[in-house]
């Protein structure tokens, strides 16, 4: 940091007052709610959908189609909003989301529903990225944690409530109401965002869309997400199909790097990746997302396969971890304005996350449940701290012209990290169980992918195999949480080498000077 930067003696006041910011937050919160619910609420309704539409093939695509398309469109919305404005693009995204929700509710075949879910993802991709970018437009980085905490709380509550709501609605009403409810919520979000975001300065500069860059980025994202989704389940990790997908992703990334250097208005401006603070912040954030989804995947299975809990009980036991991540968000909201720098906060978060995961990697079935809950709470608080703190750090060094593109790229890398975390946990569990099964000499044929369905798989196994299962899955969870701890340590090393920049006191202060100091 240069000596010319003024040292803040008090917590600065944001450009907009709290009441004006809350008018923006109200609509954005509804956007976050819609985006979060649509990732989880449909999952428990899948059996009811299959029965109603008489379709039992490719059911996973009801969820996967939305996830892939929303991830692909996230950076496109971010980049276009830098030219055309957040409010205009957010209106487009919400309109598409509502229209596709109506189409999903009216779908008559499984193929139609999958197609309409993909179209819904086109709208959903803008909800999260534009919401985060809009906050960056109206709240100074030093104050941003407070409002990010509100969004994180909504996201966590929606993630917890989504499966419960989806199951209840599909049991007692109709799965179609899961999509109809998006219409009034979407219209309310549209009205609130249109009014609240009116304070933003209009953007109307000419934009030359980098369509080739967008296509190459889409190919890379789709290939990687398909590989993570199919690996160890549909195809073996060493299969030619998985190798082809990963190779396609790598080639697309290489071509994208070439294209972005020559494009007049690149989808991912190369200047972003010349910024050391930005690159390190994005890398650390992706590792945080990897760890959170590794835990979300592994913890319920740990309680079911190691401690004998049923599916409902395991879901309740995971809630302390999810609530702890929200607590971590609010810790950042309270500490960041007072400290004014993020490296120390990030260090504390990754240390806490690593310690919690190390304890989880060492526990055995004989360890009291209270110890497991304390360890996962510590890990949740630490990882919750890092998710908000990395976003604040990254947006702090972005120039205003790059806020949308830079935030969109961060969210995409988080999505890829999340997919990798779930795939890593599932693969380690399956491989360790396979090793234990081979060492025991048990000959019973097994669908190893059934392990991912938790306690439902146990009833189908013989007593001998259950004994092997106990040893294999326990070792698998040790490896999973050890890998998570290693990822936290790696992220810690990354953030310790980041420039410890002062958080800007105004949304209009030029970030480029901070990044160069």
pLDDT score of 466: 65
Q: Where does 263-310 have alpha helices with state H? A: 270-273, 276-305
pLDDT score of 397: 86
Q: Hey, what CATH class is 16-199 in? A: mainly alpha
138 CB-contact burial (10 Å; exposed 0-12 / middle 13-18 / buried 19+): buried
**pLDDT tens-place values along the chain, 517 residues long:** 333 333 333 334 444 666 777 777 888 888 888 888 887 788 778 778 888 887 666 777 888 888 889 888 988 888 888 878 888 889 999 999 999 999 999 998 888 999 999 999 999 988 888 888 888 777 777 777 778 778 878 887 887 777 778 878 877 888 899 899 899 999 999 998 888 777 666 555 556 778 898 899 999 999 998 898 888 777 888 899 999 999 999 999 999 999 989 888 888 888 888 888 999 999 999 999 999 989 988 888 888 888 877 767 877 888 899 889 989 988 988 888 888 888 999 999 999 999 999 999 999 888 899 999 999 999 999 999 999 899 889 988 888 788 888 888 898 899 899 888 888 888 888 787 777 767 666 555 555 555 555 555 555 566 666 666 666 778 889 999 999 999 999 999 999 998 887 777 665 555 444 444 4
Tallying the residues shown for the chain, one arrives at: 517
Q: Which among 23, 445, 415 has a CA at the least distance from the CA of 199?
A: 23
Report the distance separating Cα 141 and Cα 505, nearest Å. Answer: 7
Q: Which among 438, 460, 442 has a CA at the least distance from the CA of 451?
A: 460
Query: Whose structure tokens read 């100091």?
Result: 517
Report the distance separating Cα 360 and Cα 478, nearest Å. Answer: 7
- Residues 148, 392 contacting (CB under 8 angstroms): yes
Report the distance separating Cα 453 and Cα 443, nearest Å. Answer: 22
Report the distance separating Cα 254 and Cα 272, nearest Å. Answer: 17
Could you tell me the two tokens for 330? 């609010």
Question: Could you report the per-residue pLDDT of 112-163, keeping only the tens digit for each?
Answer: 999 999 999 999 988 888 888 888 777 777 777 778 778 878 887 887 777 7
43 CB-contact burial (10 Å; exposed 0-12 / middle 13-18 / buried 19+): middle
Q: Which among 152, 435, 484, 160 has a CA at the least distance from the CA of 302?
A: 484
C-alpha distances (whole Å) from 343 to each of 211, 389, 450, 464, 467 are 37, 9, 42, 51, 46
Report the distance separating Cα 344 and Cα 331, nearest Å. Answer: 13
Question: Could you report the per-residue pLDDT of 455-483, keeping only the tens digit for each?
Answer: 555 555 666 666 666 667 788 899 999 99
- Residues 265, 210 contacting (CB under 8 angstroms): yes
What three-state secondary structure class fits 42?
A: coil
C-alpha distances (whole Å) from 156 to each of 22, 50, 319 are 20, 28, 10
Report the distance separating Cα 395 and Cα 501, nearest Å. Answer: 12
C-alpha distances (whole Å) from 97 to each of 28, 104, 134, 318, 363 are 15, 10, 18, 30, 44
pLDDT score of 340: 84
Query: Whose structure tokens read 């750090």?
Result: 393
Could you tell me the two tokens for 221? 């994202």
Q: Which among 249, 207, 301, 233 has a CA at the least distance from the CA of 72?
A: 249
The CATH homologous superfamily for domain 269-517 is: MFS general substrate transporter like domains (1.20.1250.20)
- Residues 319, 377 contacting (CB under 8 angstroms): no
pLDDT score of 5: 36
pLDDT score of 457: 55
Distance of CA 419 to the CA centre of its chain: 9
Phi, psi dihedrals of residue 389, rounded to the nearest 5°: -65, -35
pLDDT score of 483: 95
pLDDT score of 459: 58
pLDDT score of 492: 96
Q: Considering only the C-alpha atoms of the chain, give the largest distance between any 2 of them, rounded to a whole number of Å.
A: 72
């Amino acid at each position: 940091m240069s000596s010319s930067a003024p040292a803040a003696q008090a917590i600065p006041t944001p450009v907009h007052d709290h009441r004006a910011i809350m008018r923006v937050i109200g609509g954005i919160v509804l956007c976050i709610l819609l985006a979060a619910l649509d990732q989880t609420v449909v999952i428990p309704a899948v059996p009811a959908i299959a029965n109603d539409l008489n379709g039992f093939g490719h059911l996973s695509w009801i969820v996967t189609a939305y996830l892939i398309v929303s991830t692909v469109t996230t950076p496109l919305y971010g980049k276009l909003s830098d030219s055309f404005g957040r409010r205009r693009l957010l209106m487009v995204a919400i309109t598409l989301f509502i229209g596709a929700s109506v189409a999903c509710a009216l779908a008559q075949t499984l193929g139609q529903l999958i197609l309409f879910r993909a179209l819904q993802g086109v709208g959903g991709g803008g909800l999260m990225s534009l919401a985060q970018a809009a906050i960056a437009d109206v709240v100074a980085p030093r104050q941003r944690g407070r409002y990010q905490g509100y969004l994180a709380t909504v996201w966590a509550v929606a993630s917890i409530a989504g499966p419960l709501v989806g199951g209840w609605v599909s049991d007692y009403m109709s799965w179609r109401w899961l999509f109809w409810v998006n219409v009034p919520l979407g219209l309310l979000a549209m009205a609130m965002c249109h009014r609240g975001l009116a304070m933003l300065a209009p953007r109307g500069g000419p934009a030359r869309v980098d369509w080739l860059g967008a296509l190459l980025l889409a190919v890379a994202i789709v290939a990687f997400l398909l590989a993570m989704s199919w690996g160890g389940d549909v195809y073996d990790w060493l299969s030619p199909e998985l190798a082809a997908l990963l190779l396609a992703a790598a080639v697309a990334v290489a071509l994208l790097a070439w294209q972005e250097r020559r494009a007049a208005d690149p989808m991912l401006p190369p200047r972003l990746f010349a910024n050391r603070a930005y690159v390190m912040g994005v890398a650390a954030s992706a590792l945080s997302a990897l760890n959170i989804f590794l835990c979300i995947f592994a913890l319920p299975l740990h309680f079911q396969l190691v401690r004998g809990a049923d599916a409902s009980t395991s879901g309740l036991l995971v809630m302390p971890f999810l609530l702890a991540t929200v607590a971590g968000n609010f810790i950042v909201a309270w500490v960041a304005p007072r400290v004014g720098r993020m490296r120390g906060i990030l260090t504390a978060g990754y240390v806490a996350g690593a310690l919690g995961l190390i304890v989880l990697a060492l526990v055995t079935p004989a360890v009291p449940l209270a110890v497991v809950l304390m360890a996962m709470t510590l890990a949740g608080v630490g990882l919750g701290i890092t998710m908000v703190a990395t976003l604040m750090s990254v947006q702090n060094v972005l120039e205003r012209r790059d806020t949308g593109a830079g935030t969109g790229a961060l969210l995409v890398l988080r999505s890829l990290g999340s997919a990798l975390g779930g795939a890593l946990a599932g693969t380690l569990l399956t491989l360790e169980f396979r090793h234990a099964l081979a060492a025991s000499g048990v000959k019973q044929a097994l669908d190893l992918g059934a392990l991912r369905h938790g306690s439902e798989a146990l009833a189908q196994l013989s007593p001998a195999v259950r004994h092997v299962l106990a040893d294999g899955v326990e070792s698998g969870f040790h490896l999973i949480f050890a890998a998570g701890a290693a990822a936290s340590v790696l992220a810690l090393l990354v953030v310790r080498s980041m420039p410890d920049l002062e958080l800007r006191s105004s949304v209009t202060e030029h970030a480029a000077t901070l990044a160069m100091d």
